[in-house]
Structure 1
Amino acid sequence: MTDGSWITLISLGVTFLFMMGVPVLLVIFYWVVGCSFVMGLTLDNTGAELMNVFNKGFALLAMPLFILTGDLINKSGIARRLSNFAYACLGWLRGGLAMASIGACGLFAAISGSNSATTATIGSMLHPEMVKGGYDERFSAATAAAGGTVGIIIPPSIIFIVYGFLMNLPISDLFIAGIVPGSLMVLAMMIACFVICYINKWGFLITLSPWRVFKTAVGAWLGFFAIGLVLWGIYTGKFSPTEAAGVTVGFCIIVGVISYPLNKLMKNKPDAPVEERSLASMVVVEGFTPIEIPSIVVRSAQITGILAPLIAVSVVMQQILSLLGAQQVIGGFVTGMGGYYPVLFTAMAIVFVAGMILESLPVTIILAPILAPIAASVGVDPIQFAVIFLVGASIGFITPPYGLNLYVASGVTGVPYFRLLRYATMYLVSLVIVWFCVAIFPSLSNTLLPGGYLFELLSGLGG
């Protein structure tokens, strides 16, 4: 048998393993090892390449720190305060609680940078409340899954860190470029949510109370401060994304440890004036004890332990694909489309199809080095293409058959995977509309970057 025949046989074999439910990390690893033997590459070479991925990637240090941030804000109670604020603002609308869950996903994403963490946290908190509030359980679970897609677009973003590392782009610029598209994704999903709930008459309405909005805003002040701290530091250049991750982790630990005894102290003062106890409950979150920190770190390390090997083995897979000439084949196909929009839309179609069967990390690592230079050759701005590429990858989180967020939502809510698909479709359509808007209008990505309209407007106000 020729080398090509062996590689085809190996590819068919790992495809069968993937269809049987073998984790994607092992599927890619088996393919890498099998192709390495066929091509005469030693396992020593494969191991060395796996290690080189992290030896050269200082920016990747931000990944475990942002994952830890997500767990810390969840454990401390900050995430619940953000959810309460979103509900106070939107609960008076039809489908307000569902829309609030999407808004809470956007707020949580602005601190954690992870799609799965966003889906799991907001889904576990608000799915039971939505079911109690008269929403269909399938719709409730699908809403959590769809809301989590913004976890990798609204900064800070783990996948933007990986993309910037691969393509040698400023991660801070990528973060800033993701703010407006991520916000539009949240808005589009809220509109879709409102339409679905209005048609089905789901949700109990609450009265819009300025006092309740103010009270929950004060209660969520620590979350707003954490979001502002990250964005301010990166936008002004005070610290790098990796440093921002470290600062945010330190802030969350200090807040959690200090808040716990203060919260206990107020609960042990039943004779305190009502106003005093009310103010304290608004300002002080639940927190956690120092003894709980190791367990939080271990949980974050488990997630990092899944993502980090996947990054490394996907990089090696991309290298092997390059040796096999896949880059030339895909590049020739895309370039053959000719013209700005044909090339761009063809690249988007490839990302969409890849997102249906692979997680965003391998999609980014394998396809970004192939598609980004082609897009640049027809005049697409590298930062804009990064946002286009990653918005497309994020849509893959609710696109069957893979749809990672659908699996996560199914796991935390108990709703079977296939029962989520019906209500995920409407969200999918809204996200695709935003995706094409980001592709057609470059200003949506660069308006906050130097030279962009909002950047100039904000600079004028500040100076």
Structure 2
Amino acid sequence: MTDGTWVTLISLGVTFFFMMGVPVFLVIAYWVIGCSFVLGLTLDNMGAELLNVFSKGFALLAMPLFILTGDLINKSGIARRLSDFAYACLGWMRGGLAMAALGACGLFAAISGSNSATTATIGSMLHPEMVKGGYDERFSAATAAAGGTVGIIIPPSIIFIVYGFLMNLPISELFVAGILPGAMMVVGMQFACWVICRINGWGHLIPLQLNRVLKTAFGAWLGFFAIGLVLWGIYTGKFSPTEAAGVTVGFCVIAGLVSYPLNKLMRGQRDLPAVERSYAGMLVVDGFRVRDIPSIVVRSAQISGILAPLIAISVVMQQILSLLGAQAVIGDFVTSMGGYHAVLFTSMVIVFFSGMVLESLPVTIILAPILAPIAASVGIDPIHFSVIFLVGASIGFITPPYGLNLYVASGVTGVPYFRLLRYTVPYLIVLIAVWILVALVPFFSTVLLPQH
């Protein structure tokens, strides 16, 4: 048999494995190993490439640190305080709690940088509250899944780090470019949520009270400080993304450790009037103990241990695709579409359909090195294209058959995967509309960049 026949058979085999639920890392690894033998490459080559990815990828150090940040703010109770603030601001509207969940996803994303962590944290916290508040459980779970899509767009973003590493772009500029498009995604989903809830009459209304808003804002000051610390440090150039991740982890550890004994002290002040005790308690969150840190680190390490090998093996996959000529074929196809807008929308279609069957990480690692140079050749700003690419990849998180956020939401809420699909459609429509708007108007991606 010819090499092409062998590659086709190997591809069909790993596709079957993927459909049977084999982890994506193993699916890609099987394909890489099989094709390496077909092309006459040694396993030493694969080992050298795997090592090379991380030995030269200083920027990738930010990835496990931001994952750890997400777990720290969840364990400390900072995420809960941010959710309370969002509800105080939006609870007066129909569907206010669901809209607050989406707002809380945006705030959580501004510290954690992970879509799955955002969906899991907000879904586990607010899904029970939404069901108690009269929302359909399927809609509640779908809302958490959709809200998680901004986890990789609003900075800091793990996938922006990977994209910048691959394309040799300044990660700090990528972070800044994602701020406004990420906010647009949140507002768009909140609008869709409001429409759905008005039609169905879901949600209990609470009055908009300035004292409630101020109290919850004051209670969430640690979360706002962490968000401001990251954005200020990166935007002003005081921190590199990796340094910002380290500083944020340090802040969250100190805040969590200090808040735990203070929180217990505030609860124990029975001699203080209740109002004073409540006011003082707003200054601190639940916190955690020193002995809790190892379990938090292990949980974060488990997620990093899934992502890091996937990045490495996907880089080797990219090398093999180049040897097979796949990158040239895709590149010629996109280039043949014509000028600026033809290349732009062809690239968007490729990213969208790829996101339906693959996670954003392999989509980015495989397609970005192919599509980004073509986009640049027709005059698309590299930073602008990065935002277009990754917003499209984020939509894949709620697009079946893969839809990673749908699986995460299903796991934390107990709602079966297929029962979520109907209620993701309105969010999907809005996100695609925002995506097209961001693609057509570079202003939204570049306005906050100093040199633009």
TM-score bin (small chain): over 0.9
3-state SS of paired residue (1:283):
coil
Q: CA deviation at 1:276?
A: 2.1
In structure 2, what residue type is equivalent to 1:369? Answer: P
Q: Which residue of 2 aligns with 1:114?
A: 114
**2-structure distance, mates of 1:275, 1:12:** 66
User: Mean Cα displacement is larger for which, 268-277 or 210-219?
Assistant: 268-277
Q: Which residue of 2 aligns with 1:242?
A: 242
Q: CA deviation at 1:273?
A: 2.0
3-state SS of paired residue (1:131):
helix
In structure 1, what residue type is equivalent to 2:349? Answer: A
In structure 2, what residue type is equivalent to 1:37? Answer: F
Q: Which residue of 2 aligns with 1:458?
A: none
Q: Is 1:175 aligned to residue 142 of structure 2? A: no
Q: CA deviation at 1:63?
A: 0.1
Q: Which residue of 2 aligns with 1:73?
A: 73
**2-structure distance, mates of 1:276, 1:252:** 26
Q: Is 1:424 aligned to residue 419 of structure 2? A: no
TM-score scaled to structure 1, two decimals? 0.97
Q: Which residue of 2 aligns with 1:445?
A: 445
Unaligned regions of 5+ residues in structure 1, if any? 453-463
**1-structure distance, mates of 2:87, 2:437:** 28
**2-structure distance, mates of 1:271, 1:277:** 9
Q: Which residue of 1 aligns with 2:400?
A: 400
Q: Which residue of 2 aligns with 1:29?
A: 29
3-state SS of paired residue (1:401):
coil
Q: Which residue of 1 aligns with 2:54?
A: 54
In structure 2, what residue type is equivalent to 1:57? Answer: G
Q: Which residue of 2 aligns with 1:461?
A: none
**1-structure distance, mates of 2:148, 2:281:** 28
**Where does 1:190-205 land on structure 2 (aligned, <5 Å)?**
190-205=190-205
**Where does 1:293-332 land on structure 2 (aligned, <5 Å)?**
293-332=293-332
Q: Which residue of 2 aligns with 1:377?
A: 377
3-state SS of paired residue (1:154):
coil
Number of corresponding residues: 452
> Could you list the runs of 4 or more consecutive aligned residues of structure 1 that deviate by over 4 angstroms after TM superposition?
none
Q: Which residue of 2 aligns with 1:162?
A: 162
**2-structure distance, mates of 1:69, 1:396:** 24
Q: CA deviation at 1:267?
A: 1.3
Q: CA deviation at 1:274?
A: 2.1
Q: Which residue of 2 aligns with 1:456?
A: none
Q: CA deviation at 1:240?
A: 0.2
3-state SS of paired residue (1:175):
helix
**1-structure distance, mates of 2:266, 2:15:** 57
**1-structure distance, mates of 2:290, 2:201:** 46
Q: CA deviation at 1:272?
A: 1.2
In structure 1, what residue type is equivalent to 2:254? Answer: I
**1-structure distance, mates of 2:249, 2:312:** 25
Q: Which residue of 2 aligns with 1:152?
A: 152
Query: 1:81-103: per-residue Cα shift (whole Å, max 9, x none)?
Result: 00000000000000000000000
**2-structure distance, mates of 1:217, 1:232:** 19
User: Mean Cα displacement is larger for which, 56-65 or 16-25?
Assistant: 16-25
In structure 1, what residue type is equivalent to 2:73? Answer: I
Query: 1:323-366: per-residue Cα shift (whole Å, max 9, x none)?
Result: 10011100000000001101100000000000000000000000
Q: Which residue of 2 aligns with 1:41?
A: 41
Q: Which residue of 2 aligns with 1:133?
A: 133
Q: CA deviation at 1:451?
A: 4.2
Q: CA deviation at 1:282?
A: 1.1
3-state SS of paired residue (1:364):
helix
Q: CA deviation at 1:268?
A: 1.4
In structure 1, what residue type is equivalent to 2:170? Answer: P
In structure 2, what residue type is equivalent to 1:13? Answer: G
**2-structure distance, mates of 1:181, 1:284:** 32
**2-structure distance, mates of 1:314, 1:410:** 27
3-state SS of paired residue (2:356):
helix
Query: 1:366-401: per-residue Cα shift (whole Å, max 9, x none)?
Result: 000000000000000000000000000000000000
Q: Which residue of 1 aligns with 2:231?
A: 231
Q: Which residue of 1 aligns with 2:209?
A: 209
Q: Which residue of 2 aligns with 1:286?
A: 286
Q: CA deviation at 1:266?
A: 1.2
Please, what is the CA RMSD of the aligned residues? 0.6
Q: Which residue of 2 aligns with 1:459?
A: none
Query: 1:87-132: per-residue Cα shift (whole Å, max 9, x none)?
Result: 0000000000000000000000000000000000000000000000
**2-structure distance, mates of 1:333, 1:195:** 40
Q: Percent identity?
A: 81
**1-structure distance, mates of 2:162, 2:270:** 50
**2-structure distance, mates of 1:21, 1:75:** 30
**2-structure distance, mates of 1:388, 1:230:** 23
**2-structure distance, mates of 1:33, 1:50:** 13
Q: CA deviation at 1:271?
A: 1.6
Unaligned regions of 5+ residues in structure 2, if any? none
Q: Which residue of 2 aligns with 1:353?
A: 353
Q: Which residue of 1 aligns with 2:259?
A: 259
**2-structure distance, mates of 1:269, 1:210:** 27
**1-structure distance, mates of 2:103, 2:424:** 17
In structure 2, what residue type is equivalent to 1:68? Answer: L
Q: CA deviation at 1:278?
A: 1.2
TM-score scaled to structure 2, two decimals? 1.00
**1-structure distance, mates of 2:359, 2:23:** 11
